[in-house]
Amino acid sequence: MLSTRGVFFKSSCHFKFPTLSNIIGRYPETRRSAIKLYLIRHGETTWNQQRIIQGSGSDTDLSEKGKAQAESLGRSMKDVSLTRVYSSPLKRAMDTAAAVAGPHNLKVVPEPDLREIHVGEMEGMSLETFGQNFSQFLVDWQTKGDAVDFKGGENLGQFRDRVWTVVRRIVEANPGGSVVVVSHYFVTATVVCTALGMPLTHLVRVRIQPSSRTILEFADGCQPRLLLLSDTCHLKER
């Protein structure tokens, strides 16, 4: 789906989607040694349900729905040949990662720099309350770009540098592998924007659903390629 308010893909399961292996297998043999990075957003939390802002300062648990989402995600990826699973150290991400790593007998590797952005004074604020100041926030975002700060929290440019540095480190450490990175909305959207050369002012145009999977391909001498964005078909097949 192409929305005039933002660009995003919305998965529809009214027809049979190709499997992940089929998607990956469509690319030329010369690229099959490239690393496939499976970017996964954690499952739903109670704060997601209640529309409360949760950044790196809130170590929230998965809701019952979020636990079921993580289990469905794990089942859908059991036949993917994974080499390593990394995760933000926050519980909502680690529990989602454990559901993916379990069928492969892999240990989850916690990576502190995959934690969500520090949202400062917005931590724990309802979206309804935040909405009163949202227009000014968007103006600041569009005019300041990477320099915009979450009041009392993290600068977007510094956040991007933190996240992209750890992603590059993971890519370099796993040549030719298929690696899972479980994190958060801002982390995943920032990695996608950075990989595609998009400024962070475009973050609001990228929709990343809870327990969704996004695939990026990295190969030497080539620009990163987006193979899949925010896929949630596994949740509709439960």
| Residues designated as active site | 42, 116
156 neighbors 146 (Cβ within 8 angstroms): yes
What is d(CA 64, CA 143) in angstroms, rounded to the nearest whole number? 40
**Residues with Cβ < 8 Å from 56, sequence gap 6 or more?**
90, 115, 116, 117, 118, 119, 154
Q: What is the token pair recorded at 98?
A: 């454990």
Residue type, 202: H
Comparing CA positions, the residue from 134, 55, 71 lying closest to residue 63 is 71
What is d(CA 78, CA 52) in angstroms, rounded to the nearest whole number? 32
What is d(CA 206, CA 8) in angstroms, rounded to the nearest whole number? 6
Q: How far does the chain reach from its first CA to its final CA, in angstroms? A: 23
Q: What is the token pair recorded at 136?
A: 């000014």
Where are the strands (E) in the chain, listed by range?
2-3, 6-7, 35-41, 84-87, 108-110, 178-183, 213-218, 225-231
CB atoms inside a 10 Å sphere around CB 224: 20
